[in-house]
Structure 1
Amino acid sequence: MSRVWSAVADLAPGAADYRALPKTWRVDLVAGITVGIVALPLALAFGVSAGVGAAAGLVTAIVAGIVAAVFGGSNVQVSGPTGAMVVVLAPVVAQHGVSAVVVVSLLAGVVVCAAGLLRLGRTISYIPWPVIEGFTAGIAIIIFLQQVPTALGVSSSLPHSTNAAVAAVQAALAANWPDALIPLAVVAATVALMLASRLVSRAIPASFVAIVVVSGAVMLARVPVQSIGELPSSLPAPHLPALSLSMLGDLAGPILAVAALAAIESLLSGRVAASMADTGPFNADRELVGQGLASIASGLFGGMPATGAIARTAVNVRAGARTRAAAIVHAIALIAVVYLASNLVSGIPLAALSGVLMVTAVKMIDVGALRQVVTSTRSAATVFIVTAVVTVSFDLIVAVGIGVAVAAFFALRALSRSCGVHRQEIPGEAQPGDERIAIFRLDGSLFFGVADRVVQRVQQQRGVEIVILRLSHLQHIDATGAHTLAELVSDLERRNVTVFIKGIKPAHRQVMTRVGAVAALRHPNHLFEDLAPAVAAARSHLRTGEPTRG
């Protein structure tokens, strides 16, 4: 039992999570309130967009926000409903109804939690740096573009594309000019106040100050702009949904898709947050457990699946958050809004919130890191650009997949170039018949990407009766490389070219034996540890035609 506990101890909350709180509680409190104000309209909007209602979005931000903050692996991650999740959930609601989202939330949460317990969070380390930067830049662009309709005062009830870039263009075309200049002025005022606050002191919560000042001015002057509007008056009680085997079968695909999205988006968001400020270590496995539990809790209260939300997390970090208490305060602030200040908060202009998110989006792009990745290598720049473009044009998960695939292509190409096959001169004094012996040294890695090239290089030799393959310099060989090597040996032997293999490393012996590369030799004695005995055996074989003991 003690071994089991020690294995999961680092996945559980502890006092160390709040060790810095006595010094940071003020900035954490302000950051949490700021994020709560920013998160409120987003939570409501995402709930409506997904088809489950504003209350479900708010429930997700509150319940999942608290659970993920307590159990997650990041000190500053803010979790809740996200735009990417809406894209996955909307078809589920259309096909199976609102109740199906609760089931998806519960079971996807179980899958994500299990992934964390199985220590699969480390898979984030396999996502290359250019993909992370491209994903972050793409997200920043999407966040900025998503604010364009609100900044222009375009009603959300008008038909618009699910693609942020297309929706921004549609909003610009549908805007009622010059009336659109009014919300634009609110956005400009918010941005100006945030920038001015930063110039005065970085300790000032710029977004919070800007929202308070602009909202007060708009309310006093009765400026005709869209506001948050009516809020839900209460939260639902927890309950378990009705489950059936047929429903589980129908929802298996969406459950896995939501689980994958929640895991990848949360891990990437946590990774990005950790790079934005010195807020402590990021535990990827614990983050998966926390996000899984958050989605389960959200589902029990009738909410949506949750993920780490990079927009709200970025606001949290920029507002000065240093511990997970800020994310907890953000959820408590949302609860307070529901029960205590719904009328007051309902008057906050949406354009002011758009200004906050626009500034946040711009600040998310690290110009220094962008310059480094673009100027480092052509392959890194290509991966970065492809990931960013696909993120904006299509989908976050698709973007990460394509980005990793492109990075893998360049990595394999570089790896294949490191693999070489070189014909060597026979060491020592030349003897009659040496011209009929060819020694080939294989360097680097022999895998599926280069195996055929090695075969062609060896088979091009003419007038050779014995081939010695030196494998001691081979660093890696996969099953395809070993299989191709076995086929090469068999082909040469069929052409009456005797093959000797020298220097199989212990780490490679098993795979080469299993795929038949050793068995393809004409005689077991044609396997050698050193080059000199192999050359001596080859010369003897030319004279006698008999295998020589290796």
Structure 2
Amino acid sequence: MPELFLILRSGYKKEYLGGDLFGGITVAIVALPLAMAFAIASGVGPEKGIITAIVAGILASLFGGSRVQISGPTGAFVVVIYDIVLRHGYEGLALATLMAGVMLMVMGLFRLGAVIKFIPYPVITGFTAGIALLIFSSQVADMLGLKIDQMPGDFLSKWQVIFSHLFQTNGIALVLGLVCVGLIVGAKRVFPKVPGPIVAVIFGAVAVQVFNLPVETIYSRFGEISPTLPTPSFAMDISLENIKLLFPSAMTIALLAAIESLLCAVVADGMIGSRHNSNSELLGQGIANIGSIAFGGIPATAAIARTATNIKAGGKTPLSGIIHAVVLILFMVYLAPYIVMIPLSALAAILMVVAWNMSEIENVKHLFKAPTSDVAVLATTFLLTVLIDLTVAVQVGVVLAAILFIKRIISVSAILDNKIATYEPLPEAFNDPDGIEYKAIKEGVEVYEINGPFFFGIADRLKFVLDAIGVTPRVFVLRMRHVPFIDATGMYALKEFQEKCVAKGTVLVLSGVQPPLLKDLKRFGFVGRVGEENIFDHIDQALIHANTLAVHHEKN
């Protein structure tokens, strides 16, 4: 259920209106230069950035699951969009975004919002830092005033082209860009409530017009900006061949939109003390991306910086996001002739500051104090993002993090014998009131314990336990009180072990089997194999049974 609908159903409070109005206006002022800058950096015209901020801003606020999020073009998409446009043109980008929008809606409808949150922090930090470096690199040419017809998409080639054109550096553009960087940083420190980006673009546009500075502007590169929204259309070649070709790009867009939106929602929740609905948010972002493309925009997602601005300015409900979009429409209608006066070096300055903030240097430094495996995931994701491809980086990063997680689970899972641990036990095991050292165990009874999840990572260890004992026991008690779950491989390992016990004339007894685990064992058919009379929920009952079997065997 969209958050806006829930708010309206419970009753929109009058005191919300002032905050929503001021928040929407404030964030629109911030969003205008950012939307254009992100669009230009993505290899498309500035009007597409404004269109995206308007359409996605309205639709995400109408159908999303967060109270105060502001959606539009963001830095996370710059690298992806530029690469797609470079290889497939805008029509290819449109189809990939349409597919991504459908994917996001499917994620929301199938309640996959919680799953996205499981992407490890080192992976997110690694590709975010990589994107930041790529954005910074993409703006160096405009900051230096270099006139390069077509900038390569990959990182190393981009810098080769930049170095080969350094002799063309426009000193005036560079100085203007550096002054704009100073204005953005200074405004944040001296006047924190004044949007630094709008100060920079106003200063840049005024300086260019008053002093007739020989620098490139939005108008000189892109021409005029239309003061109206285009007619919605899905005029693209939606063929099976193109869908296959663009599917990886669509997956990247969908994944980035989901991650960025849900991260933003978590940040917003912390700032206002609310709780978002992740599935509704994914559904809203899917609709927003489809709508953006219909009007000729680019991919969109929730923007953390704009959302924070909205909150600080007083935004209370999704209405602030709708107001922000309406104000942008007014800017587009009445300020189009002035917007094109903005110099590209001023927009480059904005994106360089954005890239610095995205890099999260302090978080990266802090992560380097984490375990070596986490540092390896961070570094791998970062390098793959910068040197190879963002899609590959996320996929490899997640797989690598999953492998390391499994390794850690294996390291804390063990199979312990009755007196001496086969693998190092947990310290508290020595003070266990149900420990074997306090129990009477007859000769011919062996007690081992599985400590931790019994899954494919440690399943093979059980196979060799009987061989390691040396003497074939009459009864083998396997304690499972600390087994929270068992997977198919673990089930199969148990079956093999039970068959080995039968072959050697050993009775297998299970102890500490809790109801959820017992349910899984029944479904697998293992209970029928071992016999319900040999399964107990406590070690005392299991040992009474095992000792009785051992004594009976001795008498016979």
Q: Same fold (TM over 0.5)?
A: yes
Number of the residue aligned with 1:250: 241
Q: Is the 8 A contact 1:149 1:168 kept in 2?
A: no
- Residues 28-39 of structure 1 mapped to structure 2, 5 A cutoff: 28-39=24-35
Hey, what's the Cα distance between the residues in 1 that align with 2:47 and 2:440?
87
2:73 maps to which of 60, 77, 80: 80
- Letter of the aligned partner of 2:114 in structure 1? R
Q: Per-residue deviation at 1:333?
A: 5.3
Hey, what's the Cα distance between the residues in 1 that align with 2:178 and 2:466?
69
Q: Per-residue deviation at 1:385?
A: 3.0
Q: Per-residue deviation at 1:316?
A: 6.0
Q: Per-residue deviation at 1:287?
A: 1.9
1:157 maps to which of 134, 149, 164: 149
Number of the residue aligned with 2:203: 213
Q: Per-residue deviation at 1:225?
A: 1.6
Hey, what's the Cα distance between the residues in 1 that align with 2:517 and 2:289?
45
Change (3 A) 1:347 1:205: same
Change (3 A) 1:413 1:249: same
Q: Is the 8 A contact 1:136 1:365 kept in 2?
A: yes
- Letter of the aligned partner of 1:148 in structure 2? V
- Residues 520-539 of structure 1 mapped to structure 2, 5 A cutoff: 520-521=529-530, 525-529=533-537, 530-539=541-550
Is 1:471–2:463 an aligned residue pair? Answer: no
Q: Per-residue deviation at 1:300?
A: 3.2
Change (3 A) 1:429 1:238: closer
Q: Per-residue deviation at 1:301?
A: 2.9
- Letter of the aligned partner of 1:183 in structure 2? A
Q: Per-residue deviation at 1:188?
A: 0.9
Number of the residue aligned with 1:548: none
Hey, what's the Cα distance between the residues in 1 that align with 2:378 and 2:115?
19
Structure 1, unaligned runs of 5 or more: 1-7, 546-550
- Letter of the aligned partner of 1:120 in structure 2? L
Hey, what's the Cα distance between the residues in 2 that align with 1:14 and 1:489?
58
Is 1:278–2:271 an aligned residue pair? Answer: yes
- Letter of the aligned partner of 1:503 in structure 2? G
Number of the residue aligned with 1:187: 177
Tell me how large the CA RMSD over aligned residues is.
Answer: 3.4
Change (3 A) 1:41 1:442: closer
Q: Is the 8 A contact 2:19 2:313 kept in 1?
A: no
Q: Is the 8 A contact 1:239 1:300 kept in 2?
A: yes
Q: Is the 8 A contact 1:73 1:284 kept in 2?
A: yes
Q: Is the 8 A contact 2:142 2:348 kept in 1?
A: yes
Change (3 A) 1:418 1:257: same
Number of the residue aligned with 1:135: 127
Change (3 A) 1:463 1:330: same
Hey, what's the Cα distance between the residues in 1 that align with 2:87 and 2:314?
37
- Residues 194-343 of structure 1 mapped to structure 2, 5 A cutoff: 194-229=184-219, 230-233=223-226, 234-239=228-233, 241=235, 247-253=238-244, 257=248, 260-273=251-264, 274-275=266-267, 278=271, 281-304=275-298, 306-308=299-301, 310=303, 313-314=304-305, 317=308, 323=315, 327-328=321-322, 331-332=325-326, 334-336=328-330, 338-343=332-337
Equivalent pairs: percent with the same residue?
27
Q: Is the 8 A contact 1:314 1:364 kept in 2?
A: no
Q: Per-residue deviation at 1:486?
A: 0.9
Number of the residue aligned with 2:499: 490
Hey, what's the Cα distance between the residues in 2 that align with 1:275 and 1:17?
24
Number of the residue aligned with 2:367: 373
SS at match of 1:442: strand
SS at match of 2:463: helix
Hey, what's the Cα distance between the residues in 2 that align with 1:473 and 1:541?
30
SS at match of 2:449: strand
Structure 2, unaligned runs of 5 or more: 420-435
Segment drifting more, 132-141 vs 474-483: 132-141
- Count of residues paired in the alignment: 519
Change (3 A) 1:103 1:205: closer
Is 1:63–2:58 an aligned residue pair? Answer: no
Number of the residue aligned with 1:408: 402
Hey, what's the Cα distance between the residues in 1 that align with 2:481 and 2:167?
74
Number of the residue aligned with 1:446: 454
Segment drifting more, 483-492 vs 379-388: 379-388
SS at match of 1:342: helix
Hey, what's the Cα distance between the residues in 2 that align with 1:84 and 1:191?
22
Q: Per-residue deviation at 1:330?
A: 5.4
Hey, what's the Cα distance between the residues in 2 that align with 1:264 and 1:19?
37
Hey, what's the Cα distance between the residues in 1 that align with 2:132 and 2:139?
11
Q: Is the 8 A contact 1:45 1:54 kept in 2?
A: no
- Letter of the aligned partner of 2:182 in structure 1? A
Q: Is the 8 A contact 1:486 1:516 kept in 2?
A: no
Segment drifting more, 288-297 vs 80-89: 80-89
Hey, what's the Cα distance between the residues in 2 that align with 1:327 and 1:47?
26
Q: Per-residue deviation at 1:487?
A: 0.8
Number of the residue aligned with 2:423: none
- Letter of the aligned partner of 1:153 in structure 2? G
Number of the residue aligned with 1:385: 379
Q: Is the 8 A contact 1:32 1:326 kept in 2?
A: no
Q: Per-residue deviation at 1:490?
A: 1.0
Segment drifting more, 486-495 vs 70-79: 70-79
Hey, what's the Cα distance between the residues in 2 that align with 1:321 and 1:73?
20
Q: Is the 8 A contact 2:486 2:517 kept in 1?
A: yes
Number of the residue aligned with 2:512: 503
Q: Is the 8 A contact 1:34 1:330 kept in 2?
A: no
Q: Per-residue deviation at 1:222?
A: 2.0
Structure 1 length normalisation: TM-score?
0.82
- Residues 84-163 of structure 1 mapped to structure 2, 5 A cutoff: 84-86=79-81, 89-90=84-85, 93=88, 98=91, 105-106=97-98, 108-158=100-150, 160-163=151-154
